[in-house]
């Protein structure tokens, strides 16, 4: 028995296999209210000359929405190529991504980019989503004193010299 169209588990009758790299309907941001929610409540996780990536954390597996308008390129074949490359890369990386909705808004530079350039920029943007957000004041959190190495003499102010 084959998995259903919305079954990303990759389970077959009586056998356990690795999760498939499918792109089911349940892995897509499709409706206008879903896109609006990502734009209003989510954050712009990354932006470059090819696209902007918006992310809204949620409790469901990663889903992808694509916004590639005619401003990017008037030719449908070019817009569809961009979407095909993004979908393919997302399909492969989906199971390792943080849960939530991802929306990619393509920019004009994507029309001139090659498929590997688009995939590389998308991979870089997805890595930025996986990193924790920085603090508003731009500083690193204070170091935990329990994790800092102490000197062998017990004096925490003087570094240990071998």
Percent of the chain with pLDDT over 70: 67
What confidence score (pLDDT) does residue 160 get? Answer: 54
DSSP for 95-155, written as a single string? GGSPSSEEEEEE-THHHHS-HHHHHHHHHHHHHHHHSPPPPTTS-PPPPPTTTSPPPTTS-
Q: Is the pLDDT of residue 137 over 60?
A: yes
| Residue 95 pLDDT | 87
Return the domain boundaries, the chain: 31-130
Would you say residue 83 has pLDDT above 70? yes
Share of the chain residues as helix, strand and coil, in percent rounded to the nearest 5: 35, 15, 50
pLDDT tens for 2-59 read 455 555 444 444 454 455 677 788 889 999 999 999 999 999 988 999 999 999 999 9
- Residue 1 confidence class, pLDDT cut points 50, 70, 90: very low
Q: Where does 31-130 sit in CATH, by number? A: 3.30.230.10
Q: What is the DSSP letter of 18?
A: P
pLDDT average, residue stretch 140-152: 55
Mean of all residue pLDDT scores within the chain? 81
């Amino acid at each position: 028995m084959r998995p259903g169209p919305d079954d990303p588990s990759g389970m077959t009758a009586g056998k356990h296999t690795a999760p498939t790299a499918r792109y089911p309907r349940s892995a897509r941001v499709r409706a206008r209210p879903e896109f609006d929610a990502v734009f209003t409540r989510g954050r712009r996780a990354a932006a470059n000359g090819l696209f902007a990536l918006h992310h809204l954390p949620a409790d469901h597996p990663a889903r992808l929405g694509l916004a590639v308008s005619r401003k990017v390129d008037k030719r449908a074949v070019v817009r569809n190529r961009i979407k095909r490359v993004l979908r393919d890369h997302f399909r492969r990386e989906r199971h390792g991504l943080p849960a939530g909705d991802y929306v990619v808004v393509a920019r004009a530079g994507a029309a001139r980019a090659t498929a590997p350039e688009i995939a590389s920029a998308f991979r870089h943007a997805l890595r930025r989503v996986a990193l924790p957000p920085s603090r508003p004041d731009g500083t690193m959190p204070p170091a935990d004193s329990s994790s800092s190495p102490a000197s062998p003499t017990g004096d925490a102010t003087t570094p240990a010299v071998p």
